Amino acid sequence: MTQSIHNHHPGKDFNYLENLRRRLLLVLSRSPARFEHLLQEAEGAYPTDVQQVLQDLESEGQLRLTSNGEWTTFQEAAHPSALKPDGPQTGPSAALSNDLPEPHPLDFDWRFADEAIHLIVQELRARCIGNIAVLGAPTVFRCLVDQGIPAHLFDKNAAVLDYLKQRAYHTFTEIDLLCPGPLPSGRFECVVADPPWYPEHYEAFIDASRTLLKIGGRLFLSVLPRLTRPGAEETRQTILTYAAARGFEITNIIPSALTYVSPPFEKAALKIEGLVLGHWRTADLFELEKKVEVHTSTRQLREPDTWQNFLIGRVQVRLLPTRSDAGFKLCTDPQSWRLRSVSRRSPARTTINVWTSRNLALTVSDTRPLGSALQLLQAGSKVPEAVAQTSTKHQLDKSQSQQLRQIIEAIVEDSK
Ligand SMILES: C[S@@+](CC[C@H](N)C(=O)[O-])C[C@H]1O[C@@H](n2cnc3c(N)ncnc32)[C@H](O)[C@@H]1O
């Protein structure tokens, strides 16, 4: 069984592309702009979608690319004095997160750029006295603790939490908020939350926030921009409706306040599409106040995540435990090991059972031999030793042993 590279991207949505088209034409009606600038103005649209829409508009004769690399409408000559975007700007920095284990797509982990962390901490300093709960934002948590501000982190990422623990950060709880146990009630003045950008995660993080917060407490919530993907606008509405039904009132919105670092898995996916970009993703910062205690029926809890995690240097390798009586076999063509999408809607996601934080993603018939080899590598073994020991333990034949070695070498090489 091999996987086609064309099966990596989710299908396109006509209304969504139409909205993106309108947005880009509006931005370009004001001034010609480079791709990077358009991306920042595209309200979260994924770079390949922005590129596709620009190319479609070009082939329809509505836009052209000038010799200095700017996209422009044909009406542009009529008002050349329109506002120009600034010249090259220094990009956001990532010094506050680049030592942590790498973000993995299974955690939907997009880390904040330093500027976003500073902005959140500044907002908290200005608006909050007392205990702060941080849901799904380890970088903000670490910065708060470093500044002597009492904070408690709730997150499910074991690799990141282990890393923090080794560095003497102890005020955290490892928890899957989609299926949490009991949380301390009414103990916090403020919550900062950066859930994965899906309705069920927002609902789970809002539910946790309302339990943790006192009446009058504030929730600072990162919210996905309108064109992040088809349905993002409806998700934004759902978030507000859900929060209101749970006793929250919106008090402030800072649009595009939070810049994210493009994670290695996203950079790798974009590189295959020929795009090497800076940190282009932003979110809005919503501030909400818990006005009343509302008693609602409990949300349906999800099954806990069963992927196993291994850390090779800073690279996270995840395995979805899979067994086969037919023995160990590689099922994916090495040509398509690099997942070309970061979307949860990617059809390829349904078959993968080996997945790295650099977006190497493949399928094997049985993950047990790979698990053994990764455990040995994690403990410091070299590749030949790990393959030899694993082959003996799992009684792999020569061809199986070679396939195992091919996978391990690719992961190790890619992790450098
Ligand atoms: C969008 S990232 C936010 C990271 C944040 N911007 C930062 O810089 O630290 C989502 C975070 O939520 C965590 N997470 C994802 N799913 C979760 C769940 N079900 N329960 C608890 N935490 C979760 C991830 O481990 C990750 O830290």
Radius of gyration of the chain, Cα coordinates, nearest whole angstrom:
23
> What is the distance between the alpha carbons of residues 384 and 352, in angstroms, rounded to a whole number?
25
Q: What is the pLDDT of residues 241-267, one digit of tens each?
A: 999 999 999 999 999 999 999 999 999
Is the Cβ atom of 155 under 6 angstroms away from ligand 1? yes
Beta-strand pair 315-319/308-312: antiparallel
What is the CATH architecture assignment of 10-78?
Answer: Orthogonal Bundle (1.10)
> What is the distance between the alpha carbons of residues 316 and 355, in angstroms, rounded to a whole number?
8
| pLDDT for position 5 | 41
Q: What is the pLDDT of residues 319-366, one digit of tens each?
A: 999 999 889 999 999 888 998 888 888 888 889 999 999 999 999 999
Q: What is the reported pTM?
A: 0.91
> What is the distance between the alpha carbons of residues 34 and 70, in angstroms, rounded to a whole number?
4
Give me 239's structure tokens: 């978030």
How many CA atoms are closer than 13 Å to the CA of 75, on its beta-carbon side? 9
Cβ neighbours of residue 88 closer than 8 Å, sequence gap 6 or more? none
The amino acid sitting at 384 is P
Chain mean pLDDT for the chain:
91
| pLDDT for position 86 | 45
> What is the distance between the alpha carbons of residues 146 and 164, in angstroms, rounded to a whole number?
12
Kindly list the distances between the CA atom of residue 384 and the CA atoms of 73, 375, 397, 401, in Å, as whole numbers in the listed order: 58, 14, 15, 11
Cβ neighbours of residue 101 closer than 8 Å, sequence gap 6 or more? 157, 159, 160, 163, 311, 314, 316, 357
> How long is the chain?
416
Is the Cβ atom of 177 under 6 angstroms away from ligand 1? yes
CATH fold group of domain 105-290? Rossmann fold (3.40.50)
Does the pLDDT of residue 88 top 70, yes or no?
no
| pLDDT for position 8 | 62
Distance 103 CA to ligand 1 centre (A): 9
Domain ranges of the chain: 10-78, 105-290, 308-414
Check if 10-78 and 105-290 are the same fold. no
> What is the distance between the alpha carbons of residues 51 and 42, in angstroms, rounded to a whole number?
11
Distance 156 CA to ligand 1 centre (A): 7
Give me 347's structure tokens: 């059809």
Region of residue 71 (phi > 0: left; psi between -120 and 50: alpha; otherwise: beta): beta
User: Which residues partner with 309 through β-bridges?
Assistant: 318
Cβ neighbours of residue 413 closer than 8 Å, sequence gap 6 or more? none
Is the Cβ atom of 157 under 6 angstroms away from ligand 1? yes
Beta-strand pair 315-319/354-356: antiparallel
Distance 97 CA to ligand 1 centre (A): 14
3-state secondary structure of 287: strand
Distance 136 CA to ligand 1 centre (A): 4
The rounded percent of the chain whose pLDDT value lies above 90 is 80
Q: What is the pLDDT of residues 23-40, one digit of tens each?
A: 999 999 999 999 999 999
Q: Which of 102-116, 134-148, 290-304, 371-385 shows the lowest mean pLDDT across its residues?
A: 290-304
> What is the distance between the alpha carbons of residues 14 and 399, in angstroms, rounded to a whole number?
47
| pLDDT for position 170 | 96
